[in-house]
Amino acid sequence: IGVTGVQTCALPIYTTNIPVFKNRHETESVLANSIFKNTNLFNLSINSFGAQIILNPSKQYHQYNLTSTGTDLNSFLSSVQSGLNDIGFNTNIFNSKITRIDIAKNILLNEHYQTYTNALQLYRGKRQNNIQYPDGYLIANKQHQAIFYDKKQELINNKIQCIAPDNFMRAEMRALKSGTVEKYLNGNTLFDLCNISSGEINTIYKNYFKNNVFKNTKIGTQLAIDFKDDITLFNSLKSLYPRSYFNHFIMINGYNNLMNKYSNKDMHTLLEAAGEHRSNIFRHLAKLELLRNQNALHNTNRSTLTDKLNEIEYKLTA
């Protein structure tokens, strides 16, 4: 578990005299409403509201391994302090207020990330909204967020040349306001962060997911919603494709996702609720049974939604 992002409001500013480079041999002073400076160590922006510095301590050392508090973080922040001084931005960065912090954990899943998308959608946060992305799932409000995403795919999308594990998921907690940061860290400056042990960071992270995500999982409620939606979809397809509606229903849901959501008994109930004739119900169930047997020849270890939920919770909080 490590820190993947820090956003600070760096005050007080003692002197700000950042040169603007016109070419290799000439500099000039300018008047502007805002100014920014991006380096490999930090992104700095200054405007009438103050100065903001964005850091990623983990990425400085590795493309995906994580840096927690301790020697590496202290060394990184000292380098940032020197880098700021070198460009004429003189402030004590350790006194700067943290306005956002991201804490993450990498886990190796038992299966490919995409097979977990339905399971992730069962997670609910306290007074938070849920957004499904192609390679991630976000639970968010204006104060804090939890996000799960396919880290290997992100590396590929960003064209980062490194060897990453298969079935690689990252889960992050994000505190988005200085008050929220203080709630979780019991302090809101970089000095406070440096004085927190890596063990305390682990505890903060695990408690966040236990109290804000995992305890709010509503499997029954979600399945009830899916049940109603699937009946609507089923009847719509029946109108559009009178001869092949059940095949379309399987294709749209995906066979594995459908089997993860519904047991044989649940599927019988769904088909009854959709108004299917008894003979059609048994024919549909026989088709699913045939597909189940064929699928078993290719995969003898496919887990259920509940298995996936238990796996994620255990690996993030054990």
pLDDT tens-place string over residues 130-144: 888 888 999 999 999
pLDDT at residue number 24: 46
pLDDT tens-place string over residues 17-61: 444 444 445 555 556 678 889 999 999 998 877 889 999 999 999
0.75 surpassed by pTM:
no
Closest by CA position to 91, among listed 39, 51, 55, 60:
51
CB 233 within 8 A of CB 251: no
d(C-alpha 82, C-alpha 261), whole Å? 55
Longest distance between any two alpha carbons in the chain, whole Å: 86
